[in-house]
């Protein structure tokens, strides 16, 4: 039976309130009704509160008529969960999951079932937000501290962050670090035996920053006074383990820094780079329990010396204490980040790979140091056995010292073509190099039977057994390379090895974190909407997770079909000609989009265009990204209404007309308003030869109502982890694809290993050709189940919910900005700054007090210092929004009690928030307010109580006494 178009069974609210029905929202078997929070009855009440006759009347008052899309999105009709899952499985079924021996930084691994079930598939972990509110994120912070400890212990360097996007972008971040430190030095040397995708990404980053990247043999590095740093791979891309001690001495003698790309599993057996001279060590933690996923997502790691910590990219988890002197964890050294330092930030990365870092850290907790070393020794033994078997067949093994990857030159009697044909017949993927050699990389799941099959393919005849070969090989490393230092000695890695104990440990951590399973997270500009279970299911299917990103494309025809369908849907939704899925975060989407603009100008012999106009209200990633591509930021003022000051923009566009490269603009604005002048603004930029980069962070207010490509945008990134339902994961993963107009399509990102992008493609921006491919099913499933009209309806509800909250809060807190008709888009800014003078209450006090009511704070002090930015999304029910509003109103009354003298300025529930269970049940209570007021300020809190794990965290203490690895156990005893 053919699917009905969504509009046939979703009657949108009309201008006639008596006639409206929303049958989809009355039918619990449709996905739209599961995704959208308010009921029909709720909507009627909400519209009455807003004094609006209908939902469409609200939308007409909010979205300027001149930019409206007055037709339905040309997308297939909505599907039920069952229909979508069946169709999706059929789509990806052609993916061929062969045994992978390709290596190149991606390896088969076992995801322990206890980690898959309790973390990867657990919304208590994957629906949390980045841990800015540390008091209700102690579990995730501890898990990330474990990850940092894994990295510092295995690399031999004292400082690590948690985490970065992939190995290649981590190398590019290392390039930026050494360049920032090596003032005046503009050459970065890369050994030619690094992974090709890493070289590709680093070259693109260097070109954008005006840094000369030279790729040369490791034995012929031309060190001179222009060199800021050197990148080597250990073991290298062909598997060879080289002694770089002398190189490290030479690099340091030349005044440069040494960056080493390495492998955590190898470092359980090999001497850590930090012990032989590395200044920075980067890599991927993928093989610590995270599937290859056709490229991602995976957590990258970054470690460095203490003296470089303020140049280090990524979030750093540090140890501090709370107001009661109890150990507490927090994100440290936040002043390095783009939301504070903007164009002077160390990196533009915001969302990273927290969920994957948690998984990899827990993989180390699960196995412990002995278990990890045992896996490593087994992998190494398989490689040595294969190598010896290849030698016995007359082939040449090109390296004496290797860990998991064996580089072979076949005997003249056996051609590469013949070997490949035999390997293909056995469904095995090897790495075949252009020089007639091949390499074979082993991973955790591989077995002796795999070695037997490989040797059969290599020799052309069946091999009876490898047992005899395995018994005679020497698996010991030369003493120059063998690790002698202990690692992961902390009890956390030596305690939780039974499933019972491990599961309880994970659960204890989870119970300390507030996520969407507890209450709404109304973070402005973050779109914390529903992450439906059906959307998540395909992520763990083998045909999605088990493919190597560099497997022959013919084996990934299911992925190819999925990419095409998602790209087409996103192009229709945005109004653009083409889409690239490669950027694996919003920050990388910004970077890629600006690189595309840069390449376009260069193609027209206008490479001198380097001025990027950015409004004052822009997110900090915008100026940080502009600087990353070598542009100069010119700030455009905002007017008293929070809109872009058009006169100032025109003046600056005219002033810089000869060199104008781009305008970066968020729409609707970061102030939560559809600016009426947007088409005038984009036309002005185009008039002076510039391109318009539209930041898609607020796309949840646009889908189906208006399109970036129709309002003058030339390129736009989308945050699939916001608008299109990929869960935030506590700080990642994210996906940031870009859509471009036709004239920019030739410049979409390419890749060194698998051909992608346009005819004049820029260099790769991610390690994998399609970025974090294995989580793209989440967004496509969402689109399939919503259909075009369902997506549009979701946008309308997002706007309705935001306006409802703003209207209810307005008598108690000023709403800072509104559109021309007095409405807002999908988010609003409420302004409590007046309370500081009247009661001493600051925005941080409100944020912490909301925890006592069971809520995560809205976005604090962005884009306006001292304010709260609220975005409820379409997924929240009226009941939940009412509780949130009641909490904020009650907090306002608590402040009023201070104003009127009923409560002292220095001893009140706001100043001492949040309150822990330990405080409430303590024998001692000397506060001017009751324990009940502290813990249960409203009646409904009792049935929904979430207890913060610690009191208010001392941020200054944590930065002054930075510790970013697991502290001694006695400190946990007091936690």
| Per-residue pLDDT reduced to its tens digit, 10-56 | 333 333 333 334 455 555 578 999 999 999 999 999 999 999 999 99
Report pLDDT for 14.
Answer: 33
Q: Distance between CA 261 and CA 230 in Å, rounded?
A: 11
Which structure tokens are listed for 323?
A: 């107001």
| pLDDT value of residue 621 | 84
pLDDT of residue 618: 84
Q: 3-state secondary structure string, 842-891?
A: CHHHHHHHHHHCCCCCCEECCCCCCCEEECCCCCCCHHHHHHHHHHHHHH
Enclosing H/E stretch for 901: none
Across 315-343, b (16+ Cβ under 10 Å) vs e yields bbbbbbbbbeebbbbbbbbeebbbbebbb
Ranges of the chain whose pLDDT falls below 50? 1-22, 336-342
pLDDT at 640 (0 to 100): 87
CATH class for the domain made up of 556-784:
alpha beta
Is residue 611 within 8 A of residue 630, CB to CB? The reply is: no
DSSP letter at 477?
A: P
Query: Which strand (E) or helix (H) includes residue 909?
Result: none
User: What ranges do the domains of the chain cover?
Assistant: 6-87, 130-362, 556-784
Strand, coil or helix: 825: coil
CB neighbourhood size of 291 (10 A): 25
Q: CATH top-level class for 130-362?
A: alpha beta
- In CATH terms, are 130-362 and 556-784 the same topology? yes
- What is the distance between the alpha carbons of residues 864 and 670, in angstroms, rounded to a whole number? 10
Number of neighbouring beta carbons within 10 Å of residue 754: 18
Around Cβ 116, how many Cβ atoms within 10 Å? 16
Which residues touch 642 (CB under 8 Å, ≥6 apart)? 617, 669, 671, 673, 816, 817
Give the span between the Cα atoms of 351 and 772, in whole angstroms: 13
pLDDT tens for each residue of 560-572: 999 999 999 999 9
Q: What is the pLDDT of residue 19?
A: 38
């Amino acid at each position: 039976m053919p699917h009905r178009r969504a509009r046939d069974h979703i009657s949108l609210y009309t201008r006639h309130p008596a006639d409206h029905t929303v049958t989809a929202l009355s039918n619990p078997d449709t996905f739209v009704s599961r995704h959208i929070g308010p009921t029909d009855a709720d909507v009627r009440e909400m519209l009455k509160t807003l004094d609006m006759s209908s939902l469409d009347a609200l939308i007409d008052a909010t979205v300027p008529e001149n930019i409206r899309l007055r037709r339905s999105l040309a997308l297939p009709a909505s599907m039920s969960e069952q229909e979508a899952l069946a169709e999706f499985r059929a789509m990806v079924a052609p993916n061929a999951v062969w045994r992978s021996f390709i290596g190149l930084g991606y390896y088969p691994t076992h995801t322990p079932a206890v980690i898959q079930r309790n973390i990867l598939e657990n919304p208590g972990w994957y629906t949390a937000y980045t841990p800015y509110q540390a008091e209700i994120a102690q579990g995730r912070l501890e898990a990330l501290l474990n990850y940092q400890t894994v990295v510092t212990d295995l690399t031999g360097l004292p400082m690590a962050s948690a985490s970065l996007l992939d190995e290649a972008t981590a190398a590019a971040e290392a390039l930026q670090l050494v360049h920032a430190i090596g003032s005046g030095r503009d050459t970065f040397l890369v050994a030619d035996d690094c992974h090709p995708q890493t070289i590709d990404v680093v070259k693109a980053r260097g070109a954008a920053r005006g840094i000369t990247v030279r790729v040369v043999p490791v034995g012929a590095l031309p060190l001179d006074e222009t060199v800021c740093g050197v990148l080597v791979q250990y073991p290298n891309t062909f598997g060879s383990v080289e002694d770089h001690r002398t190189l490290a001495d030479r690099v340091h003698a030349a005044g440069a820094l040494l960056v080493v790309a390495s492998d955590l599993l190898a470092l359980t057996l090999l001497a850590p780079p930090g012990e032989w001279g590395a200044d920075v060590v980067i890599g991927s933690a993928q093989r610590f329990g995270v599937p290859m996923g056709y490229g991602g997502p995976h957590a990258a790691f970054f470690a460095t010396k203490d003296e470089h910590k303020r140049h280090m990219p990524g979030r750093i988890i540090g140890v501090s204490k709370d107001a009661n002197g109890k150990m507490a964890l927090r994100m440290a050294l936040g002043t390095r980040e783009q939301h504070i330092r903007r164009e002077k930030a160390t990196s533009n990365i915001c969302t990273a790979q927290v969920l994957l870092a948690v998984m990899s850290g827990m993989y180390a907790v699960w196995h412990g140091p002995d278990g990890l070393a045992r896996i490593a020794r087994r992998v190494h033994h398989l490689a040595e056995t294969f190598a010896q078997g290849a030698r016995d067949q007359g082939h040449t093994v090109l390296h004496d010292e290797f860990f998991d990857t064996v580089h072979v030159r076949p005997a003249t009697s056996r051609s590469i073509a013949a070997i490949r044909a035999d390997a293909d017949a056995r469904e095995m993927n090897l790495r075949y190099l252009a020089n007639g050699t091949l390499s074979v990389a082993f991973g955790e799941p591989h077995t002796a039977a795999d070695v037997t099959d490989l040797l059969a393919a290599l020799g052309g005849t069946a091999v009876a057994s490898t047992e005899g070969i395995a018994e005679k090989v020497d698996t010991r490393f030369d003493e120059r390379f063998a690790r002698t230092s202990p690692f992961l000695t902390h009890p956390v890695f030596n305690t939780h090895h039974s499933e019972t104990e491990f599961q309880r440990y994970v659960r204890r951590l989870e119970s300390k974190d507030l996520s969407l399973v507890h209450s709404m997270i109304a973070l402005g500009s973050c779109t914390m909407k529903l992450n439906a279970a059906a959307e998540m299911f395909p992520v763990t299917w083998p045909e999605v997770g088990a493919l190597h990103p560099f497997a022959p494309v013919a084996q990934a025809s299911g992925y190819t079909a999925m990419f095409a369908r998602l790209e087409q849907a996103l192009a229709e939704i945005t109004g653009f000609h083409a889409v690239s899925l490669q950027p694996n975060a919003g920050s990388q989407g910004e970077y890629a989009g600006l690189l595309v603009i840069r390449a376009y100008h260069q193609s027209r012999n206008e490479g001198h265009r380097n001025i990027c106009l950015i409004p004052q209200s822009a997110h900090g990633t915008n100026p940080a990204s502009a600087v990353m591509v070598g542009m100069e930021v010119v700030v455009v003022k905002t007017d008293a209404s929070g809109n872009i000051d058009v006169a100032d923009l025109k003046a600056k566009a005219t002033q810089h007309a000869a060199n104008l490269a781009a305008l970066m603009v968020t729409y609707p604005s970061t102030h939560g308003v559809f600016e009426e002048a947007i088409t005038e603004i984009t036309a002005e930029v185009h008039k002076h030869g510039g391109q318009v980069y539209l930041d898609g962070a607020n796309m949840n207010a646009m889908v189906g109502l208006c399109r970036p490509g129709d309002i003058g945008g030339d390129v736009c990134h989308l945050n699939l982890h916001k608008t299109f339902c990929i869960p935030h994961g506590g700080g990642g993963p994210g996906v940031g694809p870009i859509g471009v107009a036709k004239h920019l399509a030739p410049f979409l990102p390419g890749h060194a290993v698998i051909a992608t992008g346009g005819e004049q493609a820029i260099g790769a921006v991610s390690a994998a050709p399609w970025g974090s491919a294995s989580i793209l099913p989440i967004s496509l499933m969402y689109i399939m189940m919503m259909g075009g009209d369902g997506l549009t309806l979701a946008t309308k509800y997002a706007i309705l919910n935001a306006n409802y909250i703003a209207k209810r809060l307005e008598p108690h807190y000023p709403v800072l900005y509104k559109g021309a008709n007095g409405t807002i888009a999908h988010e609003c800014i409420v302004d409590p700054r007046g309370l500081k003078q009247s009661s001493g209450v600051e925005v941080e006090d409100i944020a912490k007090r909301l925890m006592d009511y069971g809520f995560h704070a809205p976005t604090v002090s962005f884009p306006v210092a001292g304010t709260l930015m609220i975005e409820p999304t379409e997924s929240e029910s009226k009941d939940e929004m009412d509780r949130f509003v009641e909490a904020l109103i009650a907090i306002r009354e608590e402040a009023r009690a201070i104003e009127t003298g009923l409560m002292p300025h220095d001893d009140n529930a706001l100043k001492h928030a949040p309150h822990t269970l330990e405080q409430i049940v303590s024998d001692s209570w000397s506060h001017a307010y009751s324990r009940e007021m502290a813990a249960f300020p409203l009646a409904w809190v009792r049935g929904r109580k979430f207890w913060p794990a610690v009191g208010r965290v001392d941020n200054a203490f944590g930065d002054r006494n930075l510790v970013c690895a697991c502290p001694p156990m006695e400190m946990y005893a007091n936690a």
